[in-house]
Amino acid sequence: MAATAAERVVIENCAIATVDEGGTEFAAGHLVLAGNRIESVGAGSAPEGLQGVVRRIDATGHLATPGLVNTHHHFYQWITRGLATDHNLFDWLTALYPTWARIDEPMVHAAAQGSLAMMARGGVTTAMDHHYVFPRGAGDLSGAIVRAARDMGVRFTLARGSMDRGASDGGLPPDFAVEGLEEALAATEATVKEHHDASPDAMTQVAVAPCSPFSVSTDLMRRGAELARSLGVRLHTHGSETVEEEKFCHELFGMGPTDYFASTGWLGEDVWMAHCVHMNDADIAAFARTGTGVAHCPSSNARLAAGIARVPDLIAAGVPVGLGVDGTASNESGELHTELRNAVLVNRLGPHREAALTARQSLRLGTIGGAKVLGRAADTGSLEPGKLADLVLWKMDTLAHSSIADPVTALVLGAPAPVTASFVNGRQIVADGRLTTVDEDAVARATRDEARRLARIAARG
C-alpha cells in the first residue's frame, strides 16, 4: 500500500534529472514524497519543519530520475528466449508460433513474473504487455498477467491483443493459434470492463491491441478501433516493422502500412504503434498530424535485422516516441535501461550520425516520452510536484560510473547502473538492486520450469 497523505519520504543529497519540460536538473537536490505523489523537488536539502516524515534517505552518490516507462513488450516470450536467433521477423514468427500456441495460464503467469521482475529491478516503474496469443482452453491469460503486475507493484497497461487471420487466410500464424472475429472482440471488451481503471492514479489500464496487419483481418482492425473508442481506451498494434511487412500490405491491401492504418481508423492521439522502422516522409507527417505515437525498440529491431527507425526525424516532426523492450524472444536481456544506450548507438549508425540522439534525449524517450505514448504524461514520466511518486535512484559512485563527470551521460552510455531504490505510487519495490515484492529466486525457478514444460509440449507436436 502507498503511504497515507500525511506520511512523507525525504530523499536528499542526490543529483536529479527531472525530465520536465525545461529539462531541469540539480547537481545536489532533494525530493519529498507525500503519499503516492511528489510533494516537492529542488536544489539543496529538503525544507525544514516537515511533518509526518516516516523515512529519510541519504542518496549521496546517486542520480534520481523518473521511473522508466516501457511502451512495448510481450511477456509470454520470457519462456522462449534464445530460439531462432538467426532469423528475420517473418521466419522467426513462423518458427515460434507453433510453440507459442501451446502456452497456458501457469506458463503465462510465470513468464509475466519473469519479464516484470527483470524490468522492475532495472528501473521500470510503468510496464506494458501486448498479449495476443490465446489458445483454446488455456485459462484466464489476461487475468494471470494482471495478477503478476499487481503482485510486482508496477504501474501497468495490458494491451489485449488478438489475431484472427490464420495461415488459411493468408496470415502467418497457424489456424489453431488464432481467435474468431466476434470471439476476439467480445473477449477484448470483457477484459477492458474487468481490468481497466481510468483514474489518474490507476495501477492497471487496458488497451485494445489487434496484433498486426499480417495476422489480423481488416474487419478486426476497423471494429477494434471502434470498440476502443466506444470504451474510452487506447489502441496499440505493430506497424511498419520490416520490408516484408511493407510488401505484404501492398500485395494484400494495395497500399502501405500507414495508409492502411488510416483507412481502418488506426491513426490518432489515442494510438501508438510498435517499431515503425520503415516509414517515408509522408508516413511520418501522417503520424505527426494525427498525434499517433511510436514505441521504439532498438535492440529487437537489430536482433531481427528489421532496420534502423527514423527516430530523429520522428522527434523533429513532433511524433510522440517512447522506448520498448519488445518480447524477450527478440531481446533476451528483457531490460529497458539498456535501451537508453542502444537507442543512442543504433540511431547514430543512421544518416544523422553523431547528431541523431543525445543522452538526454534518450532519457526523455525512456521516461516522459513513454508516458506520453501511453497517455499518462499528466501524472507520471517526470519528477514534478503533484505527479505520481514513480522514481528511481541509480547508484553512480561505483567503479563503472564514478569517473564519468555527468551523471546522465553515465546512466545512458555507461554500464548498466545499479538501482538502489525504485518507488511506484509511493511504495518502494526495489531496495539495493533486489525486488521487495516477490522472491526473485522463486520467480527464476518458476520461469525455468515452465519454459521446460512448454518445450516438452511443443516437441510432442
Give me the CATH number covering residue 29. 2.30.40.10
In CATH, what number is assigned to the domain containing residue 367? Answer: 3.20.20.140
Mean of pLDDT values over 223-249: 95
Instruction: Report residue 166's pLDDT band, with 50, 70 and 90 as the boundaries.
Output: confident
Identify the domain containing residue 390 by its residue range.
8-66+385-435
* Inter-residue contact 263 to 221 (CB < 8 Å): no
Q: Kindly state whether residue 32 falls inside one of the protein's structural domains.
A: yes
For the cut 90, the answer to whether the pLDDT of residue 400 exceeds it is: yes
Q: What is the mean pLDDT of residues 331-337?
A: 95
pLDDT of residue 105: 98
Residue 26 makes CB contacts below 8 A (sequence gap 6+) with 15, 16, 18, 41, 42, 43
Are residue 241 and residue 290 in the same domain, yes or no?
yes
β-strands 68-69, 8-17 pairing: unpaired
31 is a domain residue: yes
Question: What's the N-to-C CA distance of the chain in angstroms?
Answer: 45
pLDDT digits (tens, 9 = 90+) for 5-25: 569 999 999 999 999 999 999
Q: Which of 352, 373, 394 is the endpoint of a domain?
A: 373
| pLDDT value of residue 6 | 61
**pLDDT(250) > 90:** yes
Round to whole Å and give the CA distance between 261 and 130: 18
Residues 323 and 250 in one domain: yes
Domain membership of residue 459 (yes or no) is: no
* Shared domain check, 299 and 287: yes
Quick one: 247 and 356 in the same domain? yes
One domain, residues 223 and 361: yes
Look at residue 3 in the predicted model and tell me its pLDDT.
46
pLDDT at 177: 80
Q: Is the pLDDT of residue 31 over 90?
A: yes
On whether residue 317 sits in a domain, the answer given is yes
Whether 261 is covered by a domain: the verdict is yes
- Rounded to 10 deg, the angle between the 181-195 and 141-152 helix axes is 30
Instruction: Judge if 207 and 131 occupy the same domain.
Output: yes
133 and 44 in a single domain? The answer is: no
Same domain, 224 and 328: yes
For the chain, give the percent of residues with pLDDT over 70: 99
For residue 14, the model assigns a pLDDT of 98
Please check whether residues 213 and 360 belong to one and the same domain. Answer: yes
Which residue in this structure is represented by grid cell 472482440? 185
Q: Which of 373, 395, 424 is the last residue of a domain?
A: 373
User: Do 54 and 86 have their domain in common?
Assistant: no
Task: Please report the pLDDT score of residue 293 as a whole number.
Answer: 98
Q: What is the mean pLDDT of the chain?
A: 95
> Has residue 397 been placed in a domain?
yes
At residue 362, does pLDDT exceed 80? yes
420 and 331 part of one domain: no
Structural domains of the chain, count: 2
Q: What angle do CA 377, 132, 274 make, to 5 degrees?
A: 45
* Domain contains 448: no
Residue 2 included in any domain = no
> How far apart, in whole angstroms, are the C-alpha atoms of residue 247 and residue 216?
16
In this prediction, residue 170 carries a pLDDT of: 82
pLDDT digits (tens, 9 = 90+) for 137-163: 999 999 999 999 999 999 999 999 999
Per-residue model confidence (pLDDT) at position 171 = 80
Question: Could you report the per-residue pLDDT of 365-390, keeping only the tens digit for each?
Answer: 999 999 999 999 999 999 999 999 99
Looking at the fold, whether 72 and 31 belong to one and the same domain comes out as no
Quick one: what percent of the chain has pLDDT higher than 90?
91
Q: Is residue 202 helix, strand or coil?
A: coil
Last residue of a domain, one of 373, 404, 419: 373
Position 1 pLDDT exceeds 60: no
